[in-house]
Structure 1
């Protein structure tokens, strides 16, 4: 069984952008790395964030949970590497 990659926290300012989109309840263009490594592009609202076992997740209204270090871009703005 493959070992999952170690979680790498996202940039603090980018996290603030995610939080703002949640509070504003607006539809965003979210690109992220899917479970099999493919790039996924979705237009969706962001529901909430959650931390589990030291990893941060973005929760979508569909129930999907995206580990934040798998996010590629939000509204076309790429995720900076770290704080």
Structure 2
């Protein structure tokens, strides 16, 4: 997932953050100067989702958008 310390790792990318959710979370982290609330409350969110039998999918918010950005620090953070 996108975490505050990982956002600067995308600065040199040619295509930036291509994940819609990843770019929204990165913008939120930078605007509030805080760690991702999804990361900080992950266990609590999992418990709530399990209570209501909700299926959820975790995506790669810092996946590379082009071969130029493949295998960079952000992808493996």
What range is the shorter-chain TM-score in?
Answer: under 0.3
Structure 1 or 2: more strand by fraction: 1
Q: TM-score, normalised by structure 1?
A: 0.26
Q: TM-score, normalised by structure 2?
A: 0.27
Larger relative contact order (Cα-Cα within 8 Å, sequence gap ≥ 6): 2
Structure 1 or 2: more helix by fraction: 2
